Amino acid sequence: MLIGIPDYDNYVEHMKTNHPDKPYMSYEEFFRERQNARYGGD
């Protein structure tokens, strides 16, 4: 667990509720995107 990184389940719920017409990231994509946003990276 990385402190300060949003929870994937909350992200999915947000996407389903607020953006039902848009696809959401897989867990791996979400984790990588959040990690890169916080710590930099590719």
Q: What is the pLDDT of residues 4-37, one digit of tens each?
A: 556 899 999 999 999 999 999 999 999 899 889 8
Asked whether the predicted pLDDT for residue 41 surpasses 60, the reply is: yes
Compute how many other C-beta atoms are within 10 angstroms of the C-beta atom of residue 32.
Answer: 14
The tokens for 26 are 């897989």
pTM: 0.70
**Cα–Cα–Cα angle for 24, 40, 9, nearest 5°?**
30
The tokens for 19 are 């953006």
CA distances from 37 to 2, 4, 33 (A): 13, 11, 6
More confident residue, 17 or 39: 17
Please give the pLDDT value at position 3: 56
CA distances from 16 to 1, 4, 31, 40, 42 (A): 24, 22, 18, 27, 27
